[in-house]
Amino acid sequence: VLQSKFSSPVKKGDAIYGLSDGGLECIDAKTGESNWKDKRNQNKGFGYGHGQILLSDDLILVLTEFGELVLVEANPDTQKELGRIEALNKGPRSKGGVKTWNYPAM
């Protein structure tokens, strides 16, 4: 459960959110059990990779490993992605674009 590599998890109430082996996961802080985990393909336009996350009120801001900025509702019951944009320009990196592990700032 919650295998964070480059990012630090965030806590809201009794829920802990983190990027776990490339997918967003929510665990129950009291039991340590997973509430849900994103199991989508870990590629640009789908998953998050080993990006970074920030929490602001009831929203999670994710800067994906692929340079996309994603807004996710901090909901312990279900994953709800509210929007996704390409924040960093595509680079040549074997035509797959940029790779970033930098923290976004608000």
Measured distance CA(6)–CA(91) in Å, rounded: 21
Token pair listed for 89: 């320009």
What pLDDT, in 10s, does the model give residues 35-56? 999 987 777 777 898 899 999 9
What pLDDT, in 10s, does the model give residues 69-98? 999 999 999 999 999 998 887 655 555 567
DSSP secondary-structure letter at 93?
G
Strand intervals (E) in the chain: 10-12, 15-20, 23-28, 34-37, 52-56, 59-63, 68-73, 80-86
Q: Which segments of 1-106 does DSSP mark as H helices, in order?
A: none
